[in-house]
Structure 1
Amino acid sequence: MKKFLLLILLLSGQLALAQTTTPEKREVVGRDIGQLKGIKISGRIIDEITGEALVGATITVPELNINRITDNNGAFELVLDRAEYNLQFRYVGYETIEYPITAVGDGRISIRMIQEDFELDDVVIYGSDPEKNIRSTDMGAITLSMNTMKELPPFMGEIDIVRSLATLPGVSQVGEASSGLNVRGGGVDQNLIQFAGAPIYNPSHMFGLFTAFNADVVNDVTLYKAVVPSRFGGRSSAILDILPKAGGLDKWGGDLMLSNFSGKLSLNGPLIKDKVSILGGFRISYINWFLNSLSNPTLKNSQANFYDGNLVINAPISDKNEFTYSYYTSYDDFAFSSDTTISWRNTAHSVQWKSQLSSKLSLEALGFYSLYNYGIFNQSGINDFDINSDIKDLGGKVFLGYNLSETNKIVFGGEYKQVQIQPGELTPAGANEEILPKKVQDEAGRESAVHFQHEFELGEKFGFSYGLRYDMYQYLGPRVVRQYAENEPISDGSAIGETAYGEGEVIQTYDGLGPRASFRYSFNKASSIKLGYNKMYQFIHLISNTATIAPSDVWKLSDNFLEPQIADQYSLGFYNNFKGNIFETSIEVYYKDLQNVVEYKDGANLILQNHIETELIPAEGQSYGVELYVKKNLGRLTGWVSYTYSRALRRVITAYEEENINDGEWYASNFDKPHDLTLIGNYKVSTNTSISATFAYSTGRPITFPEAKFDFSGNNLAYFDARNQQRLPDFHRLDFAVNFKFDGKGKFFEGNWTFSLLNVYGRKNPFSIYFDDAEGSPPQALRLALLGVPLPSLSYALKF
C-alpha cells in the first residue's frame, strides 16, 4: 500500500511539471519525496493570451512571509521545506492567482496570467510589487505599465509615453511642443532612449507634439534617473528603456484606435501555433486640418505628416530559451508655408536571445542597428537646396546573471558598438548656381565596456547594490584634424596646420571607471531610507542653441578638442507607505556635478561647420534639487502629486577672458525650471466610466533677450549682454478626460470612447518669445503660443 501511495505522489508531481492547472486544484510538485528541506520550486510566468514573459511579477508565500520577483525571462525560484503552501502570483493589470501546492521534491511549474477587467474596487495603479519602493535598493528607477498610463488624460486622443514620465518628480519638459525629457537638470541629449535595446535619437513627432512610440506595442517603460545599473552607459543623465510587447501564441487579436488627429492599428497572433508569434503596429496622422484651422498664418499654411511602425517576432522555444526580433521605424516631415520642409526618420533593428542556462545562471545576448537621418529642403524656386545628416549605430551586448541565492545576485557582461555620423551635406537642387555644394567631414568612433553589478541583502534591514563599469572610447579616421597655436583661443585665425588620419586610424582615446552604489536600510516593512552614488560617461553631444531636439541640431562625437561629459550624482531618499500600501510617499534629494558640458560661443555658427571646435567652449555644470511624491493606489479616486524644486546651472571659465560667458559666473541652463508641480487624479464613476485630470505648473524656462539695437552699415543689429538672465512666463495648464468602456458580446471585442480637453482654460503658454523691430521705437516682445486655446479630441479604441 505504501508503494502504491508513493507511486501516486510521483505521478502527480510529473503531471504538475507537464501542465499548468487551475488554482482550485491542490498540486503536488516533486520528484524526490525523501527530501524534507531545501526543496527548489522553479517556474515561469507568462501572459495567457500572448505567451509573453511577465517580467517583475511578484510571487508571495504567505506562510513564510517571503516575496520573489520574476527575472527578465519571467522565471523565478523558491526554496521551501516539505509542506503545503498557498502561492500567490501578482502582476499589475492581471488577475491575482492563488495557487495551492504541496511541496514534496524539486519541481517546475508554469503560470499563465490573464489581464483583468478593472472593476470599481479593484483599480491598482502601483507597479507589480507594491512594496518594491521600500524593499529594493533601486533609487530613481521608475517603471510605468500601459495600464498606469491609461489613467492619464490622453494627449490629442492618445497615450503619450514621454509626457506620462514628465508627470513624475525630477522629470520635465521645456514646453508644450518639446521632444525628449530633461531629467534632474540634464539636457535631452544626456538621456539614452532605447527601444528593444536599440538607441533612438529623436523620440518625437511634430517637434514634440506627439511621442514617436505607439503605446499599443509597448509592454512597459523604465526610467533610471539616479543610480543607473552598470549594464547601462553612454549617457550622463538618465536611461529610458522601452520594451515592446510580444504577439499571441495561440490566437489572433489586435487593437484599433481612431481619433480626430491620428489613427493606429496593431495585429498579433501565431505564425506557428504555440511556437512563434508576430506583432505588427502602424500609426499615421491626419493633422493638417488642425493646422489649417489655426490663426497663425505661418502654421495655417503649413503641412505636416508622420507615421511609425513596429514589427516584433517572438519565439519562446522552451521555458529556458526565447528569441525576439524587433523592428521600429518612424518618419516626419513638416512643410512650412515658405516651402521649406524639415524631415527626420528613425529606424532600428534588434535581435535578442534569452536563455536560462541553469537554475542559477542566465544569459542574455542582443545585437542592434539604429539609423537616424534628418534633413532640411528648400523648394521655393529660388536658391533651392537640400541639407542631409545621419547617425548610424551598430553593436551588441552580452549579459550573464548568476543567482548565489534569492537575495544575492550578480550580473556581469560587456558591450561594443560603432558610431558613424554624417554631420551635414549641402546639395544645390535643380539648376541652382547660386549655392555651392558643401560636405562636413564624417565622424566615426567606437565604444566598448565591461561591467558587473552585485545585489545582496543582509537580513530584512539592510540591502546593498554596487557595480563598476569600465568604458573605453576611440575617435577614428579618416579625418583631417587641425592644429592650433598654443596660448591662443581656438579659432580659424589660430589654425597653424593639419594632420590627415587614415581609415580606422585611432585619433583620440578616452576611458574611465564608472562606479555605482546604493544602500538601503528598512525601518520596517513600510519605510526605508536609501543612499546612492552614480558616475557616468558620455561620448556623443548635441550641439544646439535650442532647448529641445530639432533637425537643424548637430550631433558631435568626442574628439581631441571635445572631451567626454562626466557626471557624478549623489542621492538620498526616504520612502514610506501607509495603510497597507494604499498611499505611497517619498522624498529624494540629489546633487549632480557635470564636467565637459558643451556650450557655444556668442554668435556661433553651428550649421555646416567643418571645424566646429572653433565655435564651442567647454563648461562645467551642477544641478541639485528635492523631489516630493505622494501617490494613492487604491479606491475610487487614485492618482499622485509630484513636486520638484531644482536648479540646473552652467559656468564657463577659460584662459581667455573674451570667451567667458556671463563673466565666468554661474547662470541658468536652458532647461532650469526651479518649481515644477504636477497633480494627477483619476476617479472611477462606475465600472465602465472614469474621469481623469492633470494640472501642471512650472517656472518659465530661461531665455536671452536683446538689451539694445544699433545700426551697422544700414542694418539693424541686436545687442545681447548676459546669457539666460530672463525667463518666459510661468507655465500652467489643466487637461481633462472622460473615458467610457463597453464590453462586446461574448467578450469578442471591447471598446473605449475617450473625450479629452487639453488646456481647459485656454492658457497661452509661450513656446517662444520673439521681437518685432519697429522703426523709431524699441523692439516689441511678442509671444508665440502653440496651444493657446482649449483643444478637444475624441478617440475610439477597439480591441478584438
Structure 2
Amino acid sequence: MKKLYLMLLLLIGTGASLLAQQKFTINGHIRDKANGEGMIGATIYIPEISSGATTNVYGFYSITLPAGDYTLVFRSLGYVTLEQKISLNGNTKLEIELEEEKSTLEEVVVTGERVDANVKSMEMSVNKLEMKTIQRMPALLGEVDVIRSIQLLPGVSTVGEGASGFNVRGGGVDQNLILLDESPVYNSSHLFGFFSVFNPDAVKDVKLIKGGIPAQYGGRLSSLLDVRMKDGNSKELSGTGGVGTVSSRLSVEAPIIKDKSSFILAGRRSYADLFLKLSPDENLRENAAYFYDLSAKVNYKLNDRNTFYLSGYFGKDVFKFADLFKMSWGNYTSTIRWNHLFSERLFANFTGIYSNYDYLLGSNLSSQGFEWKSNIINWSPKVDLAYYLNTNNTLTFGASAIFYTFKPGDISVTSDSFFNAYQAPWQYGREYAAYVDNEQKIGTRLSLQYGLRVSAFDYQGPRTVYDYVGVTGQRKRPVNPRTFEKGESIAFYPNVEPRISANIATDNNSSIKASYNRMVQYIHLISNTTAASPLDIWQPSTNNIKPERADQWVLGYFRNFQDNRFETSVEGYYKTMSNQIDYINGAQLLLNDSLEGDLLYGKGRSYGLEFFAKKNTGALTGWISYTLSRSERQIEGINQGNWYRAKYDKTHNLSVVGIYELNERWSFSGNFTYSTGVVTTFPNARWEYEGITIPYNTNDVRNNFRVPAYHRLDLAATLQNKPRKNWDSNWVFSIYNVYARKNAYSIYFRQNADNPTNTEAVRLAILGIFVPAVTYNFNF
C-alpha cells in the first residue's frame, strides 16, 4: 500500500510538472466599445513576464504562455485601461472592448498609440497621425487633408502649392507606395494637388513608413503611406459630415446585423461649378470645375474564425472650359478580404485588389474635336499570414502577384476634326513577390526584425520592341525591331530584397534603432516637370528601362521625458539609388512610340538628419520637426556627367504644429512651415528667332539655381456648439497663408514688354494671398 501511495504521488508530481511546462494561447480582438472598430496597435501587457503583444491592423492579438495565473492589462492611449486576471490551463479566447476615456482638459492627447511606442517598438522612420489630430489642424479652404498633414512630418516635403503628391527623403512622387485598404492609389490629389483624395470621415488610421520597411511591402523606393478605412459602426447608426467653403461631405455608418456586420458610406463633392451655372454670362455657365469621391465598406463576421471585408473608392476631377477644352482624371479601387484564423496562433488575410487610374483630355470644337484617354489598370491577389510562435517571435510570410495593363493613349476624333485617330500600343507586365519576416525579442534590451523579400517583374507581349542607338544626351533612334506574341516574356527581372531592423533599449525611456532596406521599383512615372501632373504617364520596366533599386541605411536615437509626456527622436539616413531616370533636353513624353530614345539613366543618392519633438498631453500639444538633407543625381549625358541636385532637393525643412485647448468649447491651432526653395535651371544666354527672344543654357548644367525660400503660417479656431440629443457640431474658422506670402512655385523667363531686347525673370505664385474659410462639421 505504501508503494502504491508513493507511485500515486510520483504520478501526480509528474503530471503537475508536465502541466507547468505545457503552453497555451490567449487570442482575440481589441475593439472600440462605442463602435466596434478594431483597434490598431493596442497593447496587451503581462506584468508576470514583463512582456506582451500588440494588435495588428485588424485589432487581432495572440500570446502563448505556460499554464499559470496571469494579469492581462489592455491599453490604448485615450482609452480606459482594462485589467483581467486569468488562470491559463487551456487555449483561451478573449474579445476585449475598450471604452474611450472622458478626458479632462489637462488630458488631451494627440495620439492613440501606446505612450512609449516610439521607444519600445521595432518601428523607426514611422509617423502615425490620428484623424482627431488631423481634423484639429488648420486646412486650406477648410478641407481637412491627410496628404497636407503628413507634409508637416520630418523627411517629407512638396515642391509647392498646386503640386501633386509628396516627396520623401529625396525621392520622387512615384517612389511612394500609397495604399487605401491595401489597394494602390496612383494619383493622391484632387484639384492639381490642393486636396487629397482621402475623405477624412472615412479614414481610421494613417501610417507613413520611410525606413525599416517590413518585407511584406515593396514596389517603391522611398516610402509607404498606409491608409485604412473605417469598418463601420457595428453598434448603432451614426454619421458625420460638414459644409465647407469648397465642398460638402457626409458619411453614414450602421450595423447590418449588430456586432456581426456593418457598413460605412462616405461621399464628398465640391460645388464651384454649381455657382458657375448661376452666372448671367452664358460662356461661364458652359464651364465646369469640380471633384467628387465616394468611399464604401462593408464587413461580415461569419464566426470567430472568419470575417469578410469589401471596400471601394471612386473619385474624379473634372475641368471644362466651354467647348475649347475638357480634362478629367480619377481613381477607382476595390478590395475584398477574408480574415481567417487557422489556429489560435496562425492568422491569415487573403486579399483581392483592383485599381484603375485614368485620365482624359479633349476638345468639343468641330474642327478640333478629339478625346485622349489613358489608363493604368492592375489586378492583384495576395495572401499574408502571421504565426505567433511565442511571446518573443512573430513570424509573417506571404506572396502576391500584380497583373498590369498600361494604356498610354487612345485618341478618338470627330468626323470633321483635322486630328487623326490613334492608339498607342498597350503594355503588359506581371510583378511577383514572396516574403518572410520575423520580429524577435532577445532578452529585455534587444529586439530584431529581419526578413527577405524575393520579387520579379515580367514584361510581356504582345509588343514590338527595339534597341536604341546614338549619342548619349541626344535623342536615340530605334533599331533591331523584334515582335513578341501575347503572354510571351520580353524581359524578366528577378531581385532579392533583404530587410533588417534592430532596437537596443538603453533604459526604460530611450532606445537606439538601426535599419537597412533594399527596395526595388518596377514601374515609373514619366514626367520632366518639377511637379507631377495628372497627364504624366506610368511606364513599366522594359528591355531598355531597368528596374530602379535603392539601398537605405538608418540610425536613430529615441527618448521620452516626463512619463512619456514628451517624445523626441533624431534619425540619420543614407540612401543610394540605381537606374534613376531623367530626360534629354526637349524630350517628347506624350504619345511617343520611341519614348525610350529620349530617356537617360544614372544613379542617385540622398542623405540627411531628421529631428522630431512632440508633446503628447496637456492643454497645449503639437510637434516640431526639422530636416537637413541633400538629394543628388548623376546621369550620363546631363551636367557633363557630374553630380547635380535633384529637382526635389531641399536643404532645410522646418515645421511647427501647435494645438491649444482653451476650454471645452474653444480650441486653437497653428502651423508654420519653412523650407529651402526648389531647384531650377536658369539660362546663361539667349537666341532670337523671327523677333522672338528664347533663353537657353550653353554649358549643359542642370538645376543650377534655387527659387526663394518657402514659408507660410496657417491659423484655425474651433468652436464646439452645445451638444443636443444625438447631435454634436462645431464651427471651424481658418486662415491659410496668414501673411499672404507669395511663395514661388516656379520662375520663368520672357521678353520685357517695354524693351523686347531684355529678358526678365518672372515669379509664378499659385497662392499669393491669405485664404480664409469657414466650415460647419456635425456628427450624430
Verify same fold: TM over 0.5: yes
Matched, 1:676 2:653: yes
Choose the corresponding residue for 2:83, options 99, 111, 123: 99
Task: Note if contact 1:540-1:564 (Cα within 8 Å) is conserved in structure 2.
Answer: yes
- Paired with 1:545 and 1:226, the residues of 2 have a C-alpha distance of 27
Provide the aligned length of Structure 1 versus Structure 2. 754
Range 564-573 or range 72-81, more displaced: 72-81
Matched, 1:207 2:192: yes
Task: Note if contact 1:118-1:687 (Cα within 8 Å) is conserved in structure 2.
Answer: no
Residue number in structure 2 paired with 1:173 = 158
Letter in 2 for 1:173: T
Residue number in structure 2 paired with 1:764 = 742
- Paired with 2:751 and 2:364, the residues of 1 have a C-alpha distance of 28
Q: CA deviation at 1:112?
A: 1.6
Residue number in structure 1 paired with 2:706 = 727
Task: Note if contact 1:39-1:103 (Cα within 8 Å) is conserved in structure 2.
Answer: no
Q: CA deviation at 1:240?
A: 1.0
Range 613-622 or range 719-728, more displaced: 719-728
Residue number in structure 2 paired with 1:438 = 422
Letter in 2 for 1:364: N
* 1:393-437: CA deviation from partner (whole Å, max 9, x where unpaired): 10111111111112211111100011010111333345212x222
Letter in 2 for 1:786: I
- Paired with 2:221 and 2:696, the residues of 1 have a C-alpha distance of 34
Identity of aligned residues (%): 37
- Paired with 1:230 and 1:220, the residues of 2 have a C-alpha distance of 21
Q: CA deviation at 1:583?
A: 0.7
Residue number in structure 2 paired with 1:147 = 132
- Paired with 1:501 and 1:491, the residues of 2 have a C-alpha distance of 28
Q: CA deviation at 1:49?
A: 3.6
- Paired with 2:697 and 2:759, the residues of 1 have a C-alpha distance of 13
Residue number in structure 2 paired with 1:754 = 732
* 1:46-83: CA deviation from partner (whole Å, max 9, x where unpaired): 12243222121122345654342112332224456888
Change (3 A) 1:204 1:299: farther
List gaps (5 residues or longer) in structure 2.
1-18
Range 533-542 or range 682-691, more displaced: 682-691
- Paired with 1:681 and 1:289, the residues of 2 have a C-alpha distance of 36
Range 390-399 or range 773-782, more displaced: 773-782
Choose the corresponding residue for 1:53, options 38, 57, 61: 38
Change (3 A) 1:786 1:753: same
List gaps (5 residues or longer) in structure 1.
1-33, 654-659
- Paired with 1:336 and 1:743, the residues of 2 have a C-alpha distance of 45
Change (3 A) 1:292 1:759: farther
- Paired with 1:271 and 1:776, the residues of 2 have a C-alpha distance of 71
- Paired with 1:526 and 1:412, the residues of 2 have a C-alpha distance of 32
State the TM-score, normalizing by the size of structure 1: 0.90
Letter in 1 for 2:756: G
Task: Note if contact 2:75-2:82 (Cα within 8 Å) is conserved in structure 1.
Answer: no
Letter in 1 for 2:761: A
Task: Note if contact 2:25-2:345 (Cα within 8 Å) is conserved in structure 1.
Answer: no
Choose the corresponding residue for 2:238, options 247, 253, 257: 253
- Paired with 1:127 and 1:596, the residues of 2 have a C-alpha distance of 40
- Paired with 2:298 and 2:676, the residues of 1 have a C-alpha distance of 45
The 5-angstrom pairing of residues 570-589 of structure 1 reads 570-589=553-572
The 5-angstrom pairing of residues 640-659 of structure 1 reads 640-653=623-636
The 5-angstrom pairing of residues 653-732 of structure 1 reads 653=636, 660-712=637-689, 715-721=692-698, 722-732=701-711
Change (3 A) 1:529 1:369: same
Residue number in structure 2 paired with 1:639 = 622
Change (3 A) 1:369 1:289: closer
Range 560-569 or range 71-80, more displaced: 71-80
Q: CA deviation at 1:288?
A: 5.2
Change (3 A) 1:342 1:234: same
Residue number in structure 1 paired with 2:13 = none
Letter in 2 for 1:591: Y
Letter in 2 for 1:637: L
Q: CA deviation at 1:39?
A: 6.1
Residue number in structure 2 paired with 1:512 = 495
Task: Note if contact 2:377-2:406 (Cα within 8 Å) is conserved in structure 1.
Answer: yes
Task: Note if contact 2:82-2:98 (Cα within 8 Å) is conserved in structure 1.
Answer: no
* 1:267-294: CA deviation from partner (whole Å, max 9, x where unpaired): 111223332211101000023599999x
Q: CA deviation at 1:615?
A: 0.8
Instruction: Tell me the SS of whatever aligns to 2:136.
Output: coil
Range 51-60 or range 689-698, more displaced: 51-60
Range 586-595 or range 369-378, more displaced: 369-378
The 5-angstrom pairing of residues 491-502 of structure 1 reads 494-502=477-485
Residue number in structure 1 paired with 2:758 = 778
Q: CA deviation at 1:241?
A: 1.1
- Paired with 1:389 and 1:318, the residues of 2 have a C-alpha distance of 43
Q: CA deviation at 1:304?
A: 1.6
Choose the corresponding residue for 2:466, options 471, 477, 482: 482
Residue number in structure 2 paired with 1:225 = 210
Residue number in structure 2 paired with 1:595 = 578
- Paired with 1:327 and 1:360, the residues of 2 have a C-alpha distance of 30
Task: Note if contact 1:490-1:614 (Cα within 8 Å) is conserved in structure 2.
Answer: no
Letter in 1 for 2:592: Q
Instruction: Tell me the SS of whatever aligns to 2:119.
Output: helix
- Paired with 1:299 and 1:172, the residues of 2 have a C-alpha distance of 36
Matched, 1:607 2:587: no
- Paired with 1:292 and 1:135, the residues of 2 have a C-alpha distance of 57
- Paired with 2:293 and 2:342, the residues of 1 have a C-alpha distance of 36
Change (3 A) 1:283 1:79: same
Instruction: Tell me the SS of whatever aligns to 2:106.
Output: coil
* 1:570-603: CA deviation from partner (whole Å, max 9, x where unpaired): 1110111111101100000001101011101011
Instruction: Tell me the SS of whatever aligns to 1:316.
Output: strand
- Paired with 2:476 and 2:174, the residues of 1 have a C-alpha distance of 31
Instruction: Tell me the SS of whatever aligns to 2:329.
Output: strand
* 1:665-704: CA deviation from partner (whole Å, max 9, x where unpaired): 1111111111000001011101232110000000010112
Q: CA deviation at 1:770?
A: 2.6
State the TM-score, normalizing by the size of structure 2: 0.92
Task: Note if contact 2:695-2:749 (Cα within 8 Å) is conserved in structure 1.
Answer: no
Residue number in structure 1 paired with 2:776 = 796
Instruction: Tell me the SS of whatever aligns to 1:156.
Output: helix
Instruction: Tell me the SS of whatever aligns to 2:400.
Output: strand
Q: CA deviation at 1:382?
A: 5.0
- Paired with 2:440 and 2:225, the residues of 1 have a C-alpha distance of 25
Residue number in structure 1 paired with 2:715 = 736
Choose the corresponding residue for 2:520, options 531, 537, 542: 537
Change (3 A) 1:171 1:691: same
Instruction: Tell me the SS of whatever aligns to 1:150.
Output: helix
* 1:777-798: CA deviation from partner (whole Å, max 9, x where unpaired): 3222222222211111111111
Letter in 2 for 1:234: G
* 1:15-57: CA deviation from partner (whole Å, max 9, x where unpaired): xxxxxxxxxxxxxxxxxxx879856443321122432221211
- Paired with 1:253 and 1:665, the residues of 2 have a C-alpha distance of 60
Residue number in structure 2 paired with 1:457 = 441
Q: CA deviation at 1:745?
A: 3.1
Q: CA deviation at 1:743?
A: 5.0
Residue number in structure 2 paired with 1:271 = 256
Matched, 1:132 2:112: no
Residue number in structure 1 paired with 2:10 = none
Task: Note if contact 1:259-1:793 (Cα within 8 Å) is conserved in structure 2.
Answer: yes
Letter in 2 for 1:462: L
Task: Note if contact 2:630-2:651 (Cα within 8 Å) is conserved in structure 1.
Answer: yes
Choose the corresponding residue for 2:106, options 121, 134, 154: 121
